[in-house]
Structure 1
Amino acid sequence: MSYSLFLLSSMLLANQQVPTTVQRPIHIVTESLPPYQVYTQGKIEGFSTEVVKEVFKRADIPYSLSINSWTRSYNLTLQRKGVCIYSIARLAFREPLFHWVGNITNTNMVIFGAKGHPPYQLKSIEEAQQYTAAVIKDDITHQALLKSGFKDGENLYVVENTSSLLKLLTSRDDIDLIVADDITIHYRARLANIDMSKISRLFEMPDLPLNFYLACNKDTDKNVLSKLEQALIDLKRDGSYQKIFERWQQYLPNAEPSK
């Protein structure tokens, strides 16, 4: 090769741009859980949704968002790299399963019954084990009650659909209890067209607070996870999180803002 051709070839190579790595969108999954996640007219909204969308916007990370049954969302996050989930309760037995990005909000957990049917009162989780509770497969209530001594097929009746819990409680004599929080129970009743005067609040579970988090599959890119963590910290630090909470506070009477 002549010197002139060599020089021309070198100049062309030098002017070529090295292709940049394109960030693949993170897939965010969740369930319908008003007022945290509200699915209306093809849109996913709600308090937690607004927080999560702002976190991804600040982190400058592209994403897609879908709402599914809790079981599907939970399992997708467990099994697939690059999938994140909210609002998921952070519990000791879930700790090693996910990367916990940060806390979104906190609430309580309560055992409810049907008025006019036993149990008429409860004082402990041990007393509750004499009765049958309906739970959503793989959600916090299912997993927590299993840890507390309940057993599938014995005193746990497992279903897939959140809206069916209250219907089961108020229509079937073999279902005695459900577990929910003081906030979502009212939305569930409204969606199921059930009068809350038919529901009894029996026992608050002090050892099982609901700490809702944004979490991701453990094998998700560490740079992405770091950006998400920092974005949530910044959101709380500059007061933006508090402003979102205040906009939704009328729908979150017993919730606590995240610190």
Structure 2
Amino acid sequence: MRLFIYLLVSFAVLAQTARAVQINELTYLTEQYPPYNFEEEGSLQGIAVDVLTAVGEQVQSTISRDKIQVQPWPRAYRSALIKTNTVLFSTTRTQLREHIFQWAGPITSTRIVVLAKKSQQIQIEHSMALAQYRIGVIRDDVGEQLLLELGVPRDSMVESSVPETLANQMIKDRIDLWAYEENVAKWWLKKAGQNTDDYEVVYVLNEGELYFAFNLEVDSRLVGEFQRALDELKVTEDGTASPFERIISKYR
């Protein structure tokens, strides 16, 4: 009798465990990273947000924007590393990060650069020349990670969790350079009232692509389902713009 009860309980536990987690049951984490993902006037929007919700519709697993959590990047990044069934976006896929996440994408291309004011006339001929300047970085962001890979010391970096803070520091000459995604950095500078033509790229750290980064414990079959749905959004059969292309064009 005890064996029967034990087996009954075991089967119940296994049945619950085996129940497939749906795409809309995953925890989605993002940051203020316009035009890819951002909140404006209480509304969550951006290229990656629209792509994510479209993927949910594609697999009939609706993802509510209200359930997407916007957090400072360091917190979101670390949560995605350690919390099961968590997805982080938009995440630059790099060699350093390759084996610490599962990936679905790409969402779009990206360029991680070092920006400077043109008036400063800063010229960077080689990576180690960066070390002589005060470089603004977001903690755990790809810009910081790429600088460290190049051997730039942390002493040369001014860390923040908030890109708007770094934009203001650059405007006020409290930092000389800003290592960040090019479009996002310019968006923050423009929001702060700056003419982005007054800034220039003095060094390119990486040209890559943005992805959805899944915690390693997420069922790989679910990641595969997500990838297939994303691929389908990019397909068109009648020569018109695909659903994916229409999303991209909204933010150009």
Q: Shared topology, TM-score over 0.5?
A: yes
Contact 2:104-2:213 within 8 A present in 1 as well: yes
Unaligned runs of 5+ in 1: 1-17, 251-259
| 1:112, distance to aligned residue in structure 2 (A) | 1.2
Select the residue among 117, 123, 126 that pairs with 1:124. 126
Deviation at 1:70, TM superposition (A): 0.7
In structure 2, what is the Cα distance between the partners aligned to 1:143 and 1:182?
16
2:42 maps to 42
1:103 to 1:222, Cα distance in 2 relative to 1, 3 A: same
Deviations along 1:95-126, whole A, 9 cap, x unmatched?
11100122100022221113433x52222222
Q: Does the 8 Å contact 2:74/2:139 carry over to 1?
A: yes
**In 1, Cα distance between equivalents of 2:77 and 2:102:** 13
Paired residue for 1:225, among 223, 226, 237?
A: 223
1:155 is matched with: 156
5 Å-filtered alignment, 1:209-248, equals 209-238=207-236, 239-248=242-251
Structure 2: which 5+ runs fail to align?
Answer: 1-14, 237-241
Q: Does 1:102 align with 2:105?
A: yes
Distance 2:57 2:182 in 1: 31
Give the match's secondary structure for 1:85.
Answer: strand
**Residues 76, 60 of structure 1: alpha-carbon distance in 2 compared, 3 angstrom cutoff:** farther
Aligned to 1:88: 91
Residues 166-201 of structure 1: per-residue CA shift (max 9 Å, x gap): 21122245x211123432232111233334354343
Change (3 A) 1:103 1:198: same
Larger Rg: 1
Letter matched to residue 55 of structure 1: V
User: Which segment is superposed worse, 233-242 or 100-109?
Assistant: 233-242
Deviation at 1:92, TM superposition (A): 0.4
Amino acid at match of 1:223: R
1:141 aligns with 2:139: no
Residues 10-50 of structure 1: CA distance to partner in whole angstroms, max 9, x if unpaired? xxxxxxxx999474611111111111112023221111111
State the partner residue of 1:168: 169
Name which of structure 1's ranges 141-150 and 232-241 shifts more when overlaid on structure 2.
Answer: 232-241
1:196 and 2:199 aligned: no
Counterpart AA for 1:156: M
With normalisation by structure 1, the TM-score equals: 0.79
Per the alignment, residue 14 of structure 1 pairs with none
CA RMSD for the aligned pairs? Answer: 2.2
